[in-house]
A and B are shown apart, each in its own frame.
Chain A
């Protein structure tokens, strides 16, 4: 399963990438730190899953969601952010993301969710195979 990372903090991005790469059947296919770059790369790489931060070096995760969702609704977005107040969660849901995780307190759940998602993906691929 192809995962794209949108995260502007290098220490966090590196750790997330390492964590995801360690999951069976998961491949990190690219990363971006600003909204514009993210939109361009995601539309080019067409990953299965995007792990998205809200506060970015330029623009916000919401900008990415608004731009990509209409043209690529099949991509699953998961937000991972330190901005965890419910209005942020609400907006995330409105914009059609699959999930929201508090970056400091819930990041371990990301691994579970992505692992499950990857397992489902490979099962799907197996069926197709």
Chain B
């Protein structure tokens, strides 16, 4: 219809008609038949124009209706509930999902106040929020960024958690607010299940650690005591034998060698046992065991290590799991210092005050990088974190003020 050739032809026709009219009127009454003919043609052209215009209007009307229907279909087929209210917060649009979600037919919803779908305790606040949103002039935003929003469905009445966004638009001088929302009951349930399962896993991992610790303690004790006693008896017999054998020659040398081997075996058993579980921790308490650990670490790795105890006796009366967690944390930190830090000095502080046990381990090495904390090899750190969290404590590893790394943990006693 809008083709240039058609427009050109139309313009040419109108020009020809104008010329014919001028010609016919200037000739006046001389040629009444011509005048009549021209008038007839004029009427025909005007009639044709009216017909074309009417058709155009009808087509445009159909298009508008089709586009409105399409829009309505989209709104209706949306998976989210869409509700539009006017300035008085009366509902003017209520899509099919909204019908299902709120168990309310469109006919009942339209014209009703929005408040009937909001739990009563939130109504006053909600009104304020919408009014404030209207004043901001922001076109859209997410609702309830931090807290969970709740909606109310009818028949029977039931609250459910939602996620919603609100937008505003002006039309014909009036303002309309549109809320798009979805039911997040299932997601909430999944979230809660996830939280519960995380708690269970944490508990399980703590139990596993505890069981492992108990197992290690038992093996360490048996190694140290049972095998230790038998080896002692063996050494006593060897000593008895040595006194009754000629001290020189091959036999004497062999007996000496046996003595050395036995000493080595005793040394190995004590080392293996101590690595498994510091029995001193059970026999003498955290203060002694930690002091010994720090001292032994300094000797083993040639890193000047000091321990400072800020407590009076409280360290000897700690619950077993607390003293174990503290001891293992110090041990793990010292191992990390030896492996990664390149430090020359290490400082350990054990303090018991205000009902909590505080442990600090610091070194003057190259300092831990944030990415080290995330690496898989810091499984030890993760285990430590889990153990501390399970006991209700706090745990932090960071760069120390004087360079190096500092671990700080607090445990309730």
- Interface of A toward B, CB cutoff 8 Å: 9, 11-12, 15-16, 19, 54-55, 60, 82-83, 85-88, 90-91, 103-105, 107-108
| Besides A15-B240, A88-B284, 12 other A-B contacts (C-beta < 8 A) | A9-B229, A12-B233, A15-B236, A55-B225, A82-B225, A82-B228, A85-B292, A87-B288, A88-B280, A104-B262, A105-B266, A107-B235
Contact with A along B226-243 (1 / 0, CB 8 A): 001111110111011000
- Interface of B toward A, CB cutoff 8 Å: 224-225, 228-233, 235-237, 239-240, 262-263, 266, 270, 279-280, 283-284, 288-289, 291-292, 295
CA A108 – CA B262 in complex, angstroms? 15
Q: Is the CB of A91 within 8 A of B228?
A: no
Most A CB within 10 A of own CB, among B231, B236, B266, B292:
B236
Nearest CB in chain A to that of B228: its residue: A82
Most A CB within 10 A of own CB, among B228, B229, B262:
B229
CB distance from A57 to the nearest CB of B (A): 10
Q: Is the CB of A87 within 8 A of B270?
A: no
Instruction: State the main secondary structure of chain A at its contact with B.
Output: helix
Q: Is the CB of A12 within 8 A of B232?
A: yes
Contacts of A88 in B (CB 8 A): 280, 283-284
Q: Is the CB of B232 within 8 A of A103?
A: yes
Most A CB within 10 A of own CB, among B228, B289, B291, B295:
B228
Contacts of B270 in A (CB 8 A): 82
CA A89 – CA B288 in complex, angstroms? 11
CB distance from B288 to the nearest CB of A (A): 4
Question: Total number of A-B contacts with CB less than 8 angstroms?
Answer: 66
Nearest CB in chain A to that of B230: its residue: A11
Q: Is the CB of A12 within 8 A of B292?
A: no
Contacts of B229 in A (CB 8 A): 9, 11-12, 82
Q: Is the CB of A86 within 8 A of B233?
A: no
Q: Is the CB of B237 within 8 A of A91?
A: no
Q: Is the CB of A104 within 8 A of B237?
A: no
Q: Is the CB of A87 within 8 A of B228?
A: no
CB distance from B378 to the nearest CB of A (A): 30
CB distance from B379 to the nearest CB of A (A): 29
Contacts A105-B263, A105-B266; A87 near B284 (Cβ below 8 A): yes
Q: Is the CB of A54 within 8 A of B283?
A: yes
Contacts of A55 in B (CB 8 A): 224-225, 283
Contacts of B289 in A (CB 8 A): 87
CB distance from A52 to the nearest CB of B (A): 14
Q: Is the CB of A104 within 8 A of B263?
A: yes
Contacts A87-B284, A87-B292, A88-B284; A19 near B228 (Cβ below 8 A): no
CB distance from A102 to the nearest CB of B (A): 9
Q: Is the CB of B230 within 8 A of A82?
A: no
CB distance from B38 to the nearest CB of A (A): 129
Among the listed B232, B263, B291, B295, which residue makes an inter-chain contact with A82, where contact means beta carbons less than 8 Å apart? B232
Q: Is the CB of B280 within 8 A of A12?
A: no
Q: Is the CB of B236 within 8 A of A12?
A: yes
Q: Is the CB of B225 within 8 A of A107?
A: no
Contacts of A60 in B (CB 8 A): 283
Contacts A54-B283, A91-B284; A82 near B233 (Cβ below 8 A): no
CB distance from B89 to the nearest CB of A (A): 76
CB distance from B332 to the nearest CB of A (A): 21
Q: What are the nearest 8 A-B pairs in CB distance?
A: A9-B229, A11-B233, A87-B288, A82-B228, A15-B236, A104-B266, A104-B232, A103-B232
Contacts of B236 in A (CB 8 A): 12, 15-16, 19, 107
CA A15 – CA B292 in complex, angstroms? 32
CB distance from B32 to the nearest CB of A (A): 139
CB distance from B354 to the nearest CB of A (A): 27
CA A107 – CA B279 in complex, angstroms? 22
CA A107 – CA B240 in complex, angstroms? 12
Contacts of B292 in A (CB 8 A): 85-87
Contacts A55-B225, A82-B228; A15 near B233 (Cβ below 8 A): yes
CB distance from B295 to the nearest CB of A (A): 8
Q: Is the CB of A83 within 8 A of B283?
A: yes
CB distance from A45 to the nearest CB of B (A): 24
